Chain A
Amino acid sequence: MGASARPRLGVFKFASCDGCQLTLLDCEDDLLAVAERVEIADFREASSAVLEGPFDLALVEGSITTPAELARIAEIRAQSKTLVTIGACATAGGIQALRNFGDVREFARVVYARPEFIQTLATSTPIRDHVPVDFELRGCPIDKGQLLEVISAFLGGRAPNVPTESVCIECKRRGHVCVVVAHGTPCLGPVTQSGCGAICPGFHRGCYGCFGPQDTPNTGALVPKLSELGMDPSAVMRVFRTFNALAPAFRAAGDAAEKESSP
């Protein structure tokens, strides 16, 4: 296949830690193969050769937190046939969305002596709040296997096979001992989407929700169990308000816990 016939890939970054784009570079065994199938037109973390759009596939990492980012995402959308958001920042505002629950001016004062130099919006918001998104890949960080599946699906012109079931299903399949039942350890597995490989329970630790809510999350049933296992309402609020605080089901659970913690 000639170079000009290959689909053109763009990888773009907004407010984030760079970890999700690094996931692509972490595909050590497949990186060169992927690079043969697509033309990497714009991936600044990896290449100083930057080509103009349009792009067949745009992978977007990070959330929208500044006025300039608002304009840039609109431009990228206009240039991209398919736009896939990757990671908790792009799909749910990321940890920096915790500013949405506080006063951003106050936040800037805590970190910077001269907050007037800082250009920022009051909120951190997911990409889909601003432009249409074709597929959202969850995770903080995303999973390598799922990323390759999304890229392969795109190349094959099919829908990605990314399950939306809970971590519990994946955990059982791997044969891990349930940390809630066996050790009384609080765990967000029942309400969290799979994809990580149920690694936390595999390390005798409760899931902390980094893939965001699964497709039918019953947080109402889980919260009393978390309390029973010793988490007070403020701890429940914090666990839902971490890496996917703006995902609707986690947001509602966090808000409910906040009400309970400050009656």
Chain B
Amino acid sequence: MTVSAIPSDNGTAMTIKITGRFDFSSHQEFRQIYENASPDIKVYTIDMAEATYLDSSALGMLLLLRDHAGGDNSDIRIKNCNEDVRKILTISNFGQLFRIE
């Protein structure tokens, strides 16, 4: 699996694209992306279009990102989920913490 980051033009938003299985093996990579991100970034978008699956470690990573981005004040969107990914987000009720589009 790979994680890649695309910053937006004005530097206040970032899109993180997940490809393949999103699990513990991408922990290091995922963390590096948001830890190295500019503090000006206010909106994170996780693009799941190419993601096939996520496990509970991936949910944990999303929580870490949320914490990093300001907890309850963070603005994190998750988009283009396939059915399996959406199901996992639904079961864990992550819709209460993230904007799932």
Q: Do A and B bind each other?
A: no
List the interface of chain B (C-beta within 8 A of A): none
A residues with CB within 8 A of B: none
